[in-house]
Amino acid sequence: MTRQIRTAVFPVAGLGTRLLPATKALAKEMLTVVDKPLIHYAVEEARAAGIDRFVFVTSRGKSVIEDHFDFAYELNQTLDARGKKEAIESLADWLPPAGHVAYTRQPSPLGLGHAIWCARHLVGNETFAVILPDDLVLSKTPCMKQLIDAHACTKGNVVAVMEVPREQTNRYGILAVGDDDGRLAEVKGLVEKPAPEDAPSTLSIIGRYILLPEIFTELGRFERGAGGEIQITDAIARMIGVAPCHGLRFEGERFDCGDGLGFVRANIAFALARADMRPKLEEFIHQRL
């Protein structure tokens, strides 16, 4: 029997330079899509997949994320005094219970692989999930739940994947594909950010991973890859042949919220998906166009 995946790691140490000046003093994970910060969606997605331990790998300037997931005494007092029971209940509803959230810092920007490695003692010796909050997914079934279901069959490392235009392969981890049933693809190799002419395919990793704990040993080798950084893609690649590795073409649409246009698209798509906003927003968009 596969053990339940209990822990999600959220690497949130990045500077968000593509979104300056918005991210100069504000953690990019706190940028809001419709009415929730990106990190809020990420935690919701993990919870909807049955995960109940949340590990954040932060850096200087990210303490606002801790505040977001903490009880806000003054706010509750004020809401209470104003008789706003619903708001209080809703806050209590999504706050993770005491002891289920942990924070650690990535002391220097050595790459995504290094950020995940920083969480090793908080994860322990069990299979875990990784969610990159910039990659927002709009789907019927939460993307992480789809990955966990796939892992229950494959028992190995699983990454969420989607096709990208060939000229964009240098932005992503790219798969060399083995057996492929059109949904689940066996991974024969992985390359981080290859030039279009060198990319083994156009199937790219987006920010959702299920990783076996042995990944920490690989990450602990501190091998530098693309951009001189310690890459999670390289560590997963080194486990191919030792443990199963699959790419899951998830159902849903992914938005790159680390980029201005992707962020605006996400806002429109998520607002249109809301029954309370759709009619008025549609009207507005039609008028503008």
Contact residues: ligand G1P, CB under 6 A: 112, 132, 135, 172-173, 192, 204-207, 231, 233
Q: Nearest 5°: CA angle at 150, between 258 and 181?
A: 95
79/128 with CB nearer ligand G1P: 128
Amino acid identity of 24? K
Q: Report, in Å, the least distance between residue 11 CB and ligand G1P.
A: 8
Q: Report, in Å, the least distance between residue 200 CB and ligand G1P.
A: 14
Q: Nearest 5°: CA angle at 253, between 233 and 47?
A: 75
Determine contact, residues 262/28, Cβ cutoff 8 Å.
Answer: no
Integer Cα distance of 76 and 71 in angstroms: 8
Integer Cα distance of 169 and 192 in angstroms: 9
Integer Cα distance of 155 and 127 in angstroms: 10
Pick the closest to residue 135 from 249, 270, 256 (CA basis): 256
96/220 with CB nearer ligand G1P: 220
18/100 with CB nearer ligand G1P: 18
C-alpha distances in angstroms, 124 versus 107, 136, 280?
A: 20, 27, 48
205/211 with CB nearer ligand G1P: 205
Q: Report, in Å, the least distance between residue 172 CB and ligand G1P.
A: 3
Q: Report, in Å, the least distance between residue 34 CB and ligand G1P.
A: 21
203-211 and 157-163 as β-strands: parallel, antiparallel, unpaired?
antiparallel
Determine contact, residues 32/266, Cβ cutoff 8 Å.
Answer: no
Q: Report, in Å, the least distance between residue 19 CB and ligand G1P.
A: 13
135/218 with CB nearer ligand G1P: 135
Select the residue whose beta carbon is closest to ligand G1P and give its number.
173
253-256 and 135-138 as β-strands: parallel, antiparallel, unpaired?
antiparallel
Give me the helices (H) in 171-231, please.
215-219
Pick the closest to residue 15 from 3, 27, 31 (CA basis): 27
49/112 with CB nearer ligand G1P: 112
79/239 with CB nearer ligand G1P: 239
Q: Report, in Å, the least distance between residue 230 CB and ligand G1P.
A: 10
Determine contact, residues 222/193, Cβ cutoff 8 Å.
Answer: no
Q: Report, in Å, the least distance between residue 2 CB and ligand G1P.
A: 25
79/248 with CB nearer ligand G1P: 248
DSSP state of 251: S
Q: Report, in Å, the least distance between residue 244 CB and ligand G1P.
A: 19
